[in-house]
Chains A and B, each alone.
Chain A
Amino acid sequence: MPGGGTLLQAAVKTRPVFWHLSVGLKIAWYALAVVSVLVFLYGVARPFYKWSRGRGGPWPPYPWRELPARLWRGLQSLLSHRTIARRDRLAGWAHRGIFYGWIVLFAGTVVLGFNTDFTKPVFGLDYFHGNFYLGYKEVLNVLGTVLIAGVLVMMFRRGVLRPRKLDYTRPDRAPGEVHLERRTYRVGDWAFISILLVIALTGFVLEGVRIAMSHPGYGGTQFGGWVVAQALSGVSSATLGGVRHGLWWFHGLLAIAFVASIPYTKAGHMITSYLSLSLRDPLAGKRLAVIPPERASAPAGYGQLQDFSPLHLLQIDACTKCGRCHEACPANATGRPLSPRDVVLELHEQSNVAIGGVLGGLMAGRLDGGGAQDDAVVGQDGVRTETVWSCMQCNACVEACPVGIEQAPIINQLRRRLVEEGELDPNVQSVLQTIHKSGNSFGERNRRRGRWTEELDFDVKDARREPVEVLWFVGDYASFDPRSQRVSRTLARLLDRAGVEFGILYDGERNSGNDVRRVGEEGLFEDLAEHNIAAISECEFQRIMTSDPHSLNTLRNEYPVLGADWQVLHHAELLLELILAGRLDVGGRLSYRTTYHDPCYLGRHNGVYEAPRQILRELGCTLLEMPRNRSNSFCCGAGGGRIWIPDEPGQERPAENRIREAVALQAVELFVVSCPKDVTMFEDAIKTSGNAERIELRELTELVEEALLPAEVAATT
């Protein structure tokens, strides 16, 4: 384009592309653009190669034919920002601004490039003028402003609000240790949003200079540039020309460099997070992975990066450091050396170091070198064993993650290897041995499993001997723990009263294996599951019920992979059914002010939130919600085998933290639970947190029975 007639061209509602650039510079410009794209493509391709090398699962993670639909669903989630806006509306809106701003500005550049480099030279068609140009400018101006607003909100959040989740200090490193604060991440994040801001701002400034120089007169559609132009009035045309030239190169080169850097910086999440979100497993954490037959003789779980599944390798590259898992994690909230975020980031760093060289180092955000793919990922300089064992496998992290990372299942895979290498707490070791020997975690003879029924004044059917309507899988705690046995008897009386034909397996039942599996003892889980599936398959029944959410999860989500096909209910669901059918006439007789704790494995894992709440309403109780409720419920601390690992003395227990949350509710009287482990954990925590005078624990079943009592009394008088 000749340098001369610029004013004229401006007057016909377009603008010069490559405004007075020499041919040499144009070539240089295109060469840089090509290099940028190549560097970008290399950066994108490289991790694909890395992920594909993971041996712990299929590549691609799902069959090719499923991928289009998944990518489409991922796109829908992305466009709606559903997962990003959840639980953090401010960040959701700001991210929408940046996302849509960036997409449209990028698309704008592509549209311009398409015109300049394709339609005009090839077909002589130049659409870059007139109303199209004006509309183009309007849209870009609006979205550029939105982008800048989004970036400024994010900067305000980081710089002023400073939420805890954006504090990168690692709970798994002590003060004074390297990588404690992760300064490089902080710098990287600021650089990322600053570059976005600078690119957007220089775009406007460039526009402003152009307007100031050419006074095209329709500044209304280019309001961003117009504002700048007002500030520049009075500056000489020669100066503006120089500034414009310099700015053009600055803006252009920055954008080109930014594109090239995308896969290597935080900006890489545009690709990895979208892929991770698209490939997310809706059953993550609910149904852990079986060991495929071809890996049967290989060491279990993840010891080295090469043991990871490609999907998990992709996920550890997809983390945006948003800190939602960090915030949701009950271990982290109670001062344990675990943050799911830091586990993922640590693995991510190792994974980048494993790529090797300066590139890997740069991507890892640290230049201290590192190992290869066959280095152990768990160790003093990696993910520490105490970190792996601090996890309660409550799935709060998986639930919170906006990009579909499976923190808890990854930690579970790390545990599988630690168990195999004997790196487990001696208490857990002895419980596992006990379960192997006796089939239950209490070390009781299995013949005593049904002994809790002996105090009832009716016989509980043996489902192995006669057909039943409901097969009750009782579970260890409800069978052997004296406190939970009381609840079991209450439940039995309710079922009997409602005329439900139910039976139990007596000594045919074993520990369901839920916790065993979450501890990482996959072989023992398989053993227990096989036994239970065989025992249950011998029985005649319509539905299975259990009062133990942990057993529920494993029976409902995990046994089917091993060949089971049953309808599995939680007792809250069955009780509600009986109440609504009028078989248990509770008639709103109670008037307690209650709060309800969602058990992780009933709520988050299995989506049963309403049945227990509706029962409380049917009983006439007032339900006060704790701030952390439903899918954001806070773990009692018993999950994932943590119930078998002694806590460090002096630390706040998660259950105590939860009780403090409950007693802060206005005039609350009862803490209602629906899980045998919760009964144990919270009854203890109410005492140890000194709240015995302020709140009492009730199992849902006990309240239902209490509501029935007055009716009985009324009937007899």
Chain B
Amino acid sequence: MKFVVCVKQVASLDEEFELLEGGGVDSDFVEWELNEWDTFSLEAALALRESGEGEGGEVVAVTVGEQEAEEALLACLARGADRAVRVWDESLQGADPLAVARVLAAVVERESPDLVFCGVQSSDAVTGSTGTALAGYLDMARVAVVTALSYDAPSSTLTVDRELESGLVEVVRIGLPALLTIQTGINEPRYATLRAIKQAREKPLVTYGLEDVGLDAGAVGVAAGAHTIELQTPERGAGAQLLDGSPAEVAARIVEIVQERMSG
């Protein structure tokens, strides 16, 4: 079995960030790490490969991102992915989920895996769209927001739990090939030691430009679904009245508010 796991190096913002003139964020205030959801989706792929049914399979980690995104790929290789692919082109700067999915689709098509794993969403953009858009480009069967999965080898079908709102779960069956977007909590992602991360540098990691995956220079612009005009700092705590003072004073105010609202 062959697995492609699509991952993202996400940005988290310091509490005291500064915006640049042009509308972006000063990179000094940004920290990068492998998207939390992707750690679960990678684990799902690795676990399935190790579970006998998928044994001997290959796990390929793919990302769209700049040089720094290789950290995310190394984290995947350290945990057990066999190969990694990074695609980048300057036109992908600030790309939206549709553009990213278009590029991923070009890579996945070349890999022709049995299963594609994506995280439900990324912690920075939180669109929840890239995986499903990718399935759309590939015309691939998919289930979104998966919280459990089991594979039945004889019938080549997966039985998965699809997490719905309000504590409801829908169990569905899906044949291969398929794409799943994986929700947090589905498994316990393994730890990658620093030694493993260093050794992961020995594993194959290729970097492609757009033309390497068969896309032309304008592909990203054509696929993009939206354009960001500007980033703004939200009006903070609109309506939130700030409770100042020592913890004791805060606690006293809370008790007061609760008593007032509960009796009223």
Which A residues are closer than 8 A to B by beta carbons? 291, 297, 300, 419-420, 422, 424, 426, 429, 432-433, 436-438, 445, 447, 521-524, 526-527
Residues in chain B near residue A426, CB distance under 8 A: 188
The tally of CB-CB contacts under 8 A between chains A and B is: 41
- B interface bracket (residues with beta carbon within 8 Å of A): 10 to 19
Q: Complex formed: what's the CA distance from A86 to B190 in Å? A: 45
**12 A-B pairs in the complex with CB atoms less than 8 angstroms apart:** A300-B195, A420-B195, A420-B196, A426-B188, A432-B191, A436-B194, A445-B15, A447-B14, A447-B28, A523-B193, A523-B195, A527-B194
Q: Tell me the chain B residues, 108-125 only, with Cβ under 8 Å from chain A.
A: none
How far in angstroms is the closest Cβ of chain A from B62?
Answer: 22
Contacts of B195 in A (CB 8 A): 291, 300, 420, 522-523
B198 within 8 A of A: yes
Question: Across the interface, do B193 and A438 meet the contact criterion of CB distance under 8 Å?
Answer: no
In the complex, how many angstroms separate the beta carbon of A441 from the nearest chain B beta carbon? 15
Q: Could you say which residues of chain A place their CB within 8 Å of the CB of B33?
A: 437
Q: Which residue of B lies closest to A522 (CB)?
A: B195
| Contact of B190 with A422 in the complex, beta carbons under 8 Å | yes
A526 CB, min distance to chain B CBs, angstroms? 7
Are the CB atoms of B31 and A523 closer together than 8 Å?
A: no
User: What A residues does B194 contact at CB under 8 A?
Assistant: 436, 521-524, 526-527
B31 touches A420 (CB 8 A): no
Chain B residues whose C-beta falls within 8 Å of the C-beta of A437 in the assembled complex: 31, 33
Question: What is the 8 Å Cβ interface bit string for chain B, positions 177-215, against chain A (1 contact, 0 not)?
Answer: 000000000001011011111110000000000000000
Q: Chain A contact residues: over half helix, strand or loop, or mixed?
A: helix
A521 touches B31 (CB 8 A): no
Q: Which residues of chain B are within 8 angstroms of A291 by Cβ–Cβ distance?
A: 195
Alpha-carbon gap, A522 to B199, bound state (A): 13
Taking CB atoms, residues of chain B closer than 8 Å to A524 are 193-194
Q: Chain A residues near B28 (CB, 8 Å)? A: 447
Contact bitstring B28-66, A, C-beta under 8 A = 1, else 0: 110101000000000000000000000000000000000
Do residues A523 and B197 form an inter-chain contact, with CB atoms below 8 A?
yes
B47 to chain A, nearest CB (A): 12
Residues of B near any A CB (own CB < 8 A): 14-15, 28-29, 31, 33, 188, 190-191, 193-199
Residues of the A chain whose Cβ atoms lie less than 8 Å from the Cβ of B198 = 523
Complex Cα gap A526–B199 (Å):
14
User: Which residue on A lies nearest to B195, using beta carbons?
Assistant: A523
Residues of A within 8 Å of B31, CB to CB, are 437-438, 445
Residue of B nearest to A300 (CB): B195
Q: Contacts of B15 on A, CB cut-off 8 Å?
A: 445
Other A-B contacts than A445-B15, A523-B195, 10 sampled, CB-CB below 8 A, are A291-B195, A300-B193, A433-B191, A438-B31, A521-B194, A523-B196, A523-B197, A523-B198, A524-B193, A526-B194
- Most A Cβ at <10 Å: residue of B14, B190, B191: B191
Measured in the bound complex, the distance between the Cα atoms of B199 and A310 in whole Å is 27
Within the assembled complex, what's the spacing in Å between the Cα atoms of A77 and B183? 62
Query: What is the chain A residue whose CB lies nearest that of B28?
Result: A447
Whole-angstrom distance between the alpha carbons of A523 and B14 in the complex? 27
The distance from the CB of B126 to the nearest CB of chain A, in whole angstroms, is 20
Closest to A422 in B: B190
A371 to B188 alpha-carbon distance, docked (Å) = 31
CA distance A522 to B14 in the complex (A): 29
Q: Compute how far the CA of A551 lies from the CA of B220 in the bound complex, rounded to whole angstroms.
A: 50
Tell whether, in the assembled complex, residue A429 and residue B191 are in contact, meaning their CB atoms are under 8 Å apart.
Answer: yes
Q: Write the nearest CB–CB distance from B34 to chain A, whole angstroms.
A: 9
User: In the assembly, what is the distance between CA of A429 and CA of B192, in Å?
Assistant: 9
Determine if A297 and B199 form an interchain contact, defined as CB atoms under 8 angstroms apart. Answer: yes
Contacts of A526 in B (CB 8 A): 194
Q: What chain A residues lie within 8 Å of B190 (beta carbons)? A: 422
B191 and A419 contacting across the interface, CB-CB below 8 Å:
yes
Q: Whole-angstrom distance between the alpha carbons of A524 and B196 in the complex? A: 10
A457 to B28, CA, bound (A): 28
Task: Tell me, rounded to whole Å, the shortest Cβ–Cβ distance linking B175 to chain A.
Answer: 32
Provide the residues of chain B in CB contact with A420, threshold 8 Å.
193, 195-196
A447 and B199 CA atoms in complex are apart in Å by: 29
Contacts of A447 in B (CB 8 A): 14, 28
Q: Could you tell me if B199 and A424 are in contact, using CB atoms closer than 8 angstroms?
A: no
CA distance A407 to B201 in the complex (A): 34
Tell me the smallest distance from the CB of A171 to a CB of chain B, in Å. 27
Looking at B188, B194, B197, which has the most chain A CB atoms within 10 Å of its CB?
A: B194
Question: Closest 3 interchain pairs by CB?
Answer: A523-B194, A523-B195, A422-B190
Chain A residues contacting B199 (CB-CB under 8 Å) are 297
Q: Which residue of A is nearest B79, CB measured?
A: A422
Nearest-CB distance from B41 to chain A (Å)?
A: 17
Residue of A nearest to B202 (CB): A297
Q: Which residues of B contact A433 (CB under 8 A)?
A: 191
Indicate if the CB atoms of A521 and B193 lie closer than 8 Å. Answer: yes
- Of listed B28, B195, B196, residue having the most chain A CB within 10 A: B195
Q: For the complex, what is the distance from the CA of A420 to the CA of B199, rounded to whole Å?
A: 12
Q: Contacts of B191 on A, CB cut-off 8 Å?
A: 419, 422, 424, 429, 432-433
Bound form: Cα–Cα A445–B14 in Å: 7
Q: How far is the CA of A523 from the CA of B196 in the complex (A)?
A: 8
CA distance A445 to B29 in the complex (A): 9
CA distance A437 to B14 in the complex (A): 13
A432 neighbours in B (Cβ, 8 Å): 191
Cα distance A455–B189 in the bound complex, in angstroms: 41
A523 CA / B15 CA spacing, docked (Å): 30
